[in-house]
A and B are shown apart, each in its own frame.
Chain A
């Protein structure tokens, strides 16, 4: 059985992005980029399934510019078997990403498709559910544990106020919550070795034309701004002072 994992290249989670002076977009020039953290959970889970003998091959796919090779090299260093880059100059939005991923699924025929639950740059959390819809596969979104049986996968999903367990017939699409696992530490020698691995490159624009899929953005960014700031806080010197201040607040009675 084969597993396909989708991995996005995003601004590293430690970076606080700044806004371009003209407010047209965020400024990511020269900023540290990384693999989307939830996608690392997805890769880790696929590798654990391989270690258990449940899967034989883990393939990772990323959609983006040539720069995305670093994300795929990191995936190689973690232990994936193959990597595919769908090269595209512009950033694709979730529906378009799902359409491209669908074409990769048609070609690769994986039994399990793992994505992250959310990209930490756009904060959307749509792609996995959209891909499942396009493929007409069952979906497990926001999954914190999974168990692959004969021809189904049992997943526990994080929902508001609890968890839900579902059994999904394979093939299925799953999006990884951070609670799924702790991604392995990547050793430097593995990163060096990963440099020599071959990444298959597919031209995104040509792929879209060949398959007749519309990958044009549906949403236009008009401007970006800092969110409204909270009122500057007050430093209190003691517990008594804190309680005085709180009790003076309308609506707070403690």
Chain B
């Protein structure tokens, strides 16, 4: 049997998490194929073809596939799914949109965000917002899963190229139409991949407070800005920088939580960070339980001092 990886890409380049999927897929010791769907994606397919450990690329290239609608991509996966023992992707809004739809068409359930792979049908995954780790065994004939990218080291690429098989498809008349996309433009690094993240909570008091206090610190650190839900609900920051269960899950080298209490819905989104710093005036704030370094103090004093001290 074979393993199929659904490759996330933006039409121009492969998402780097595909390299982590390849490492996860190697667990099954079966030939690994990468499924690349889109429009004008020769370059993306070639990039996939140079990943070490992959045996073949399946490229489906058609104009109507440019937006990679779940309806289309799921149907394509389902049409070839029975040839595979495993179909996987890294856990993201992309894979979570498509794979469950494909799985239902194949009459299998999905293993979501696997942290560890223990056997060819046994996994550890987090439940209850990351409070509990569950070991589960799937009985499905095809294992369809998303894996927690950061838990798998990235595979390498080299100059070789494996076979790229191009599959032709007819344009579909689906009842779903792509209208537009808005990417959050920022001079700062993208939140989901930033090496340093500075996040603020509702305690920053105002949108101006949020900006005046945190932006200079983020600028000095070359950091992305994040926010807790309290900050967003109060209108201090826009919802696209929400960190947590309802927002983005980040795992930077350094995460600085400023005036954030540390509710599980928030820590769910940042507890995999390598080093966590928390600044909070409450010595019993739950955020200190996940912090590597914590400073009890008034953020309106501490943050300017920190910013000024940095070179």
Contacts and interface: CB of A to CB of B under 8 A. Distances in A.
B80 to A, nearest CB: 16
B159 interface: no
A52 interface: no
Nearest to B75: A133
Interface in A13-71: 13, 16-17, 19, 26
A133 B74 contact: yes
B135 A166 contact: no
Contacts of A132: 70-71, 101
B132 interface: yes
Given A124-B110, A138-B71, A168-B175, A218 B132 contact: no
Nearest to B102: A133
B74 A165 contact: no
Contacts of A222: 122, 135-137
Contacts of B112: 123-126
Given A95-B107, A125-B100, A246-B275, A158 B93 contact: yes
Contact of B181 (A163, A168, A231): A163
**Main DSSP-derived SS at the B contact region:** mixed
A141 B97 contact: yes
A179 B242 CA distance: 10
A98 B108 CA distance: 12
A220 B139 contact: yes
Interface in A181-230: 218-227, 230
B22 interface: no
Given A138-B71, A167-B179, A219-B139, A26 B97 contact: no
Interface string A136-162: 011101101000000010100111111
Nearest to A249: B275
A129 B100 contact: yes
A77 to B, nearest CB: 23
Interface in A218-254: 218-227, 230-231, 233-240, 242-243, 245-246, 249, 251-252, 254
B138 A218 contact: yes
Interface residues of A, number: 78
Interface string B53-78: 00000000000000101110010000
Interface in B101-118: 101-105, 107-113
B294 to A, nearest CB: 5
B133 to A, nearest CB: 5
A130 B184 contact: no
**Looking at A158, A169, A177, which has the most chain B CB atoms within 10 Å of its CB?**
A158
A162 B122 contact: no
A1 interface: no
A59 to B, nearest CB: 22
Nearest to A228: B133
A162 B134 CA distance: 31
B305 interface: yes
A129 B101 contact: yes
Contacts of B306: 239, 242-243
B104 A95 contact: yes
Contacts of B155: none
Contact of A16 (B102, B264, B275): B264
Contact of B294 (A160, A224, A236, A252): A236
A160 B242 CA distance: 11
B275 A252 contact: yes
A221 B134 contact: yes
Interface stretch (B32-40, B160-168, B201-209, B246-254): B246-254
A166 B176 contact: yes
A177 B246 contact: yes
Contacts of B47: none
Contacts of B136: 219-222
A141 B136 CA distance: 25
B240 to A, nearest CB: 7
Interface of A: 11, 13, 16-17, 19, 26, 93-95, 98, 118, 120-127, 129-134, 137-139, 141-142, 144, 152, 154, 157-169, 172, 177-179, 218-227, 230-231, 233-240, 242-243, 245-246, 249, 251-252, 254
Closest 8 CB pairs of A and B: A169-B175, A138-B176, A130-B104, A133-B104, A126-B100, A129-B100, A218-B109, A162-B183
13 contacts: A123-B113, A124-B110, A124-B112, A125-B96, A133-B74, A139-B101, A161-B184, A163-B182, A165-B181, A219-B109, A224-B135, A225-B135, A254-B310
Given A17-B131, A158-B93, A224-B127, 8 more contacts: A123-B125, A137-B175, A139-B71, A141-B70, A161-B190, A233-B293, A237-B295, A249-B275
